[in-house]
Amino acid sequence: MSFVLVSLISMLVVLGILVLVHEFGHFAVAKLCGVRVETFSIGFGKRLFGFRRGETDYRVSLLPLGGYVKMSGELPTEATTGDPREYASHPRWQRVLIASAGPAANFLLAFVLMTLVYMGRNEVPDYLSRPAVVDYVLPGSPAARAGIASGDRIVRFDGLFKPTWEQVFVHSVLNLNHSVVLLVDKHGQQKEVSLPVRAPRDPDDFSLGDLGLTPVEQRRPLKIAVLEPGMPAAEAGLKAGDAILSVNGVELHSLTSMILYLQQNGPKPVQIKILRNGTPQTVVVRPESSVDANGKTVYKIGFAPEPPSSHIERLSLAQAFSRSVHDNVKGSTLILDVLHRVATGRMSPRTMSGPIGIARQTGHIVALKSWAPLLSEMSLISLNLGILNLLPIPLLDGGVILFLLIESILRHDLNEKFKERVYQAAVVFIVLVMAFGLFNDISKLPAIVRLKL
């Protein structure tokens, strides 16, 4: 099955589940409050299929990116009859509960999914939680010009004290096209430096290698696990089990460092010092060039190393739930930080993804053939969906809640004509945001990126 088809199907399934949970939150609380629900729809537009049970039409509609629950007397344009089961006939506090229930359902789903991940077999690379010690710095890169060198330990990064590499990566993305102030420990001496974080053509492809630095992923040398037949490493006589002590005299402790070094070295031969059966040897290898999906020339020698050390986490229900709550609260704070940075111009909106971006991401994750990354991604998207729907924008749940709170303070309903105009403006705004998101996603597609080169 092609990657495009896998991505499309996986995105529709993931969004379908998240929308179903979101709308079920509205539906369940509306029913509990005694509101008549006319329609429960996954998708918008023309009804494709479904069934009617009692007073509710359960349907799947043509446009799959979203969904809605239609309650009797809900829309401002509807004429109300005074029926006690109409939405508008219920007290405002109940209507606030109904509006809040969708995002709350998404938050609950995010907590449940991450709890399942932590209760399962969750493999975590050790280096992600270790102190951020620099392995290799590319000469002439932003990191090198900032004065960062191999062996430096990052003591403070963007206000975070003693950050892990995971935190360094996240806060680098938050500061794309801006400079980050960091404090590095240079073998006992501390120095404050400013690191410019340049955004790549596609912000989704950002890596720490773009800054010219890589983390120490393991304390031992790289060890060859698999050789690619016919590639320079195999042709030069390297074997599985060989430990790479250095490349042109430079000690490297991650595959990322090796890749970065080879790109800097180009087509020139490299002297690789290895340890084989306790005996050091030197092998000369000439890297082979190829062109990647973005039209960029890359150099490689054709081997896969043994993965860095990791540990398996399998927590109890109580521990997993506690970790899930902690991580989801941290994730919510991060999402709000991203929205604030985008709104204030400190972060490019190009870093944000729409449906196509989600499809690409879920397509890659499904290819991993592991349920844990998929559940983690679903949890993150569910968290985003809950927070975005709580933004005080009319037509979103947050906008509904805002109007209800204002009306509660004023103790009377707002003018319907005024609300209608606000809703019309909100429709235009949301359509423009969706159009921007779609354009943003399309501009990041590999084929479009190649056209820009």
Q: Which residues of 380-416 are buried (b: 16+ CB within 10 A; e: fewer)?
A: bbbbbbbbbbbeebbebbbbbbbbbeeeeeeeeeeee
Residue 223 and residue 304 in contact, taking contact as beta carbons nearer than 8 Å: no
Task: Give the helix/strand (H/E) hosting 371.
Answer: helix 371-389
Rg (CA), the chain: 27
- Sign of the Cα torsion 274, 276, 281, 284 reads negative
| Helix, strand, coil % over all residues of the chain, rounded to 5 | 45, 25, 30
- Token output for 298: 């890359």
Q: What are the beta bridge partners of residue 246?
A: 273
Nearest partner of 248 among 269, 263, 231, 233, judged by Cα = 269
The answer to whether the beta carbons of residues 303 and 236 sit under 8 Å apart is: no
Task: Give catalytic status of residue 23 as yes or no.
Answer: yes
How far does the chain reach from its first CA to its final CA, in angstroms?
Answer: 29
The C-alpha angle 221, 172, 452, rounded to 5 degrees, equals 100
23 three-class SS: helix
List, in sequence order, the alpha helices (H) in 205-247.
232-235
Amino acid in position 214: T
- CA dihedral angle for residue 234, residue 240, residue 246, residue 248, rounded to 10 degrees: 0
Contacts of 60 (CB under 8 A, 6+ apart): 41, 42, 43, 47, 48, 49, 50
Structure tokens given for 366: 């499904």
Residues 6+ apart with CB under 8 A from 5: none
Amino acid in position 50: G
Measure the CA–CA gap between 280 and 245, rounded to whole angstroms. Answer: 9
Cβ 386 vs Cβ 103: under 8 Å: yes
Report d(CA 77, CA 330) in Å as an integer.
Answer: 40
Cα angle 178-184-190, degrees, rounded to a multiple of 5:
130
d(CA 127, CA 163): 12
From 23, 74, 217, 377, the catalytic residue: 23
User: Which positions are annotated as active-site residues?
Assistant: 23
